[in-house]
Amino acid sequence: MGSVELCYELLGEPGDPCLLLVNGLGGQLIAWDDGFLEHLQEQGFRVLRFDNRDAGLSTEFSDGPAFDLKAGMAGDKSAAAYTLDEMADDAAGLLDVLGIPGVHVVGVSMGGMIAQTMAIRHPSKVLTLCSIMSTTGSRNLAPSTPEAQRVLMTRPPEDRSSFIEKELETYKVIGSPDFGLPDDRVREGAAAAFDRSFRPDGVARQLMAVMVSGDRTLALNDLDVPTLVIHGEDDPLIRASGGKATAEAIPGSRLLIIPGMGHDLPPATWSQIVAAIVDNARRAGERVR
């Protein structure tokens, strides 16, 4: 496939330092809660959020190979439509199109992997790095719980009501045990995601990209960028060992482990997370509030 078109939204004042939000597996730009974005803007950031390739309203790779778990586990790149390298290049290309020379990059889950890869491949564009509920790609770390593995690998139902209930089931497995959202709020988010874009095959292709992209540890060792690593102590999908390994791999990085947090960004953690992001931005000399 040739060029990739990305759907994006840029919020805030042009003179403010720009913060790029990179989503996780299958996540759309609307998955970033408006309240979280408001917290960031209140601290003086201009916020850029976008749909990764194969998600939301960005380019779909419908002619890519079918999901092949065995090939993915073997790291066979020929079985994947693309890798995290290409996904990181997408984000860097978006900055070029928008004329933004450098950003503070914040990625969650797969988005954290993309953010790390962006820092490796495009260091001049990354002012600071924040990797949340993510990992290095090493397979020597604690695996997901069996329940979390099951919800990750189960294909979502294709009718709207069943999809919404499946998303609620998933949230109850991987969400924060101490900061749970009301069921109605989870359903509302799931309904909005389904109505905007339903791409289960795209999720599978993104998962293949994660599986075949390998271990970034050695490349992370060479990074020279202010880095913040955030992880939930009770994350069942990407265990806290993934965050700890990321922090250990990147020189001078800071690690924030949040008790009671799972594989999500619950509102009760926003103030703490945003404060840490602001502090990390200051390490690059940015004037944020």
- Domains of the chain by residue range: 8-143+200-282
- pLDDT tens string 34-85: 999 999 999 999 999 999 999 999 999 999 898 998 999 899 999 999 999 9
Structure tokens at 237: 């999908």
How much is the pLDDT for 253? 98
Structure tokens at 272: 């703490």
> Residues 140-165: what's their mean pLDDT?
95
d(CA 25, CA 15): 31
- CATH fold, domain 8-143+200-282, is Rossmann fold (3.40.50)
Q: Are 116 and 217 in contact (CB under 8 A)?
A: no
Q: Are 249 and 221 in contact (CB under 8 A)?
A: yes
- pLDDT tens string 90-129: 999 999 999 999 999 999 999 999 999 999 999 999 999 9
Mean pLDDT of all residues belonging to the chain: 96
